[in-house]
Structure 1
């Protein structure tokens, strides 16, 4: 990243971080550094409205007014061999979730219902370390069936860690975007997952990007990370240059190691959203899991006016979301246009 002009002294303690961000991010489109982001995350509560307004201005200038709407569906649920401590789909924890597969007709129906909401993205998700031949075959058959149904919605996938051969297969199937979250800062990752590494996830993302698929990569806020690690994580995502960053907030699912973790407080969540926008001025920043629990209806509107420019409608795999129509009504009330499918092709 190009350093800010020396005379601006952006990292000097006496400088005003909102003013620095206004010049650096809004004015020049240059992301804040991890050190600067930490100052944003520590900004006093009384300045939160000012910070959210700036984040919204950044979003409008560098991304535009449209909101991208997406729906997700679980093709293979539960029974995952990994120990991601936040996840109720791990087969290693005593959660209520049990392994199950969705059949192809169910996948086609879900894609049809998703498009009917006005969504342009449909993400096929599987709870696995990485896809085996059966899963890759199911994905291929599912995509073919969706297209034969006359549905031209954009199809994304989230199938865990990939080999180069699998990356190439997904490209050949017509998958245009791949989701694989880094979940948290590199320094915090070993506290969250022990059965694989942050670096393994990064390698999948590298192959996806080099193959020409769009990269969707985000994480979960509220897993015991420090503010320093939140700033670190945002800067690491910026270094990846993803097309999309889904922002999730921890849902303390029963049976997981994090079942007793506190829910992220609403104003803290909004401050984090603004910081991520200032780290990723040109990136699709998507409201994802946990926003209803953390923010509620009013907070969701504030988030849409504080840097968010995409949203998942409906449910989140094993957790319930809001009815899709409520989110669509919210976008209407805020006079935010939904990105049309032909604008994503």
Structure 2
């Protein structure tokens, strides 16, 4: 008789701290809905044992919005699609103001994002100026997400004091060509490796619900496990008008929660962050279930081109669940 996957996970993940492989992750993703509470309960146990009760809170802001030359099919910031987002730059005082407002929520991370293939000299100079101004104004860790990097740029960001770099793989290697054609999954992987080798923390996740199969979703979880990022942001596709994925159906709530629980079992020691799309896919009740099913970090406020939950609602939820916000000193 075949051993139940959650029994296997209890030993491998909870007891030994080893993440599930792709085949095991697929078994979790295909559990019947009546087993979902068991999956989430085990994922919560894993999170508490290997990560603790604290929740990391982060805010993000776009320094350069829209006009990106890449064709990521989910993204309304691509200059190749007829989506309504148009190119715009944020000035440094506005960037600092956003960082101060983010810190006021209790957040310990503030991420500067730019819609580019990779940073040019102008953008790197603006980031340097912005990081310096933020550090002078408020005590918060500064992260960046600026696309693919050269080794020189990686070294420069590390020298600036950038705490963490976000560069999502977005999806499984086998599915990536159906999502992006203007660059490769391997190019993203290479940037992630350089970030890790430079000593910055690596934030690397993706988007669920872009037409991938459950097998590919399991493949993606295992590939992230191989990369071992410090943080994995889990987004659920929010189909944007004018993009090739505009008519893609939303992931169901139960499927989203199975994904959360499975990713926690594949990545037992990683910060697993609620990111975009959870408001549509999960709503208030599902968001609570995910916090009790392996999630231990949230982005508060709005995302880059879509609205999020009010920060107060997320902070009230954490207080209600008696989950303390991770202090700044614990993330340095």
CA distance in 2: counterparts of 1:27 and 1:223, whole angstroms: 33
The answer to whether 1:163 aligns with 2:150 is yes
Q: Which residue of 1 aligns with 2:85?
A: 97
Q: Which residue of 2 aligns with 1:334?
A: 321
Matched length: 332
Secondary structure (helix, strand or coil) at the match of 1:93 reads coil
Note the C-alpha offset of 1:189. 0.2
The answer to whether 1:220 aligns with 2:207 is yes
The answer to whether 1:319 aligns with 2:306 is yes
**1:108 is matched with which residue: 88, 96, 111?**
96
CA distance in 2: counterparts of 1:216 and 1:272, whole angstroms: 18
Q: Which residue of 1 aligns with 2:43?
A: 55
Note the C-alpha offset of 1:245. 0.2
Q: Which residue of 1 aligns with 2:227?
A: 240
Q: Which residue of 1 aligns with 2:15?
A: 27
CA offsets per residue over residues 173-231 of structure 1, 9 Å max, x none?
00010000000000000000000000000111111110000010000000000000000
CA distance in 1: counterparts of 2:230 and 2:135, whole angstroms: 24
Q: Which residue of 2 aligns with 1:251?
A: 238
**2:118 is matched with which residue: 115, 124, 130?**
130
Please give the TM-score of this superposition, normalised by the length of structure 2.
Answer: 0.99
Structure 1: gaps of 5 or more residues = 1-12
CA distance in 2: counterparts of 1:14 and 1:212, whole angstroms: 43
Note the C-alpha offset of 1:148. 2.1
Q: Which residue of 2 aligns with 1:36?
A: 24
Structure 2: gaps of 5 or more residues = none
CA distance in 2: counterparts of 1:213 and 1:176, whole angstroms: 6
Q: Which residue of 2 aligns with 1:147?
A: 135
Note the C-alpha offset of 1:342. 1.4
Q: Which residue of 1 aligns with 2:65?
A: 77
Q: Which residue of 1 aligns with 2:105?
A: 117
CA distance in 1: counterparts of 2:129 and 2:26, whole angstroms: 46
CA distance in 1: counterparts of 2:329 and 2:208, whole angstroms: 33
Alignment of 1:149-298 (within 5 A): 149=137, 151-298=138-285
Note the C-alpha offset of 1:30. 1.0
The answer to whether 1:15 aligns with 2:3 is yes
Secondary structure (helix, strand or coil) at the match of 2:78 reads coil
CA RMSD of superposed structures (Å) = 0.6
CA distance in 2: counterparts of 1:241 and 1:146, whole angstroms: 29
CA distance in 2: counterparts of 1:301 and 1:263, whole angstroms: 19
Note the C-alpha offset of 1:23. 1.1
CA offsets per residue over residues 258-291 of structure 1, 9 Å max, x none?
0000011001000000000000000000000000
CA distance in 1: counterparts of 2:171 and 2:14, whole angstroms: 26
Alignment of 1:291-306 (within 5 A): 291-306=278-293
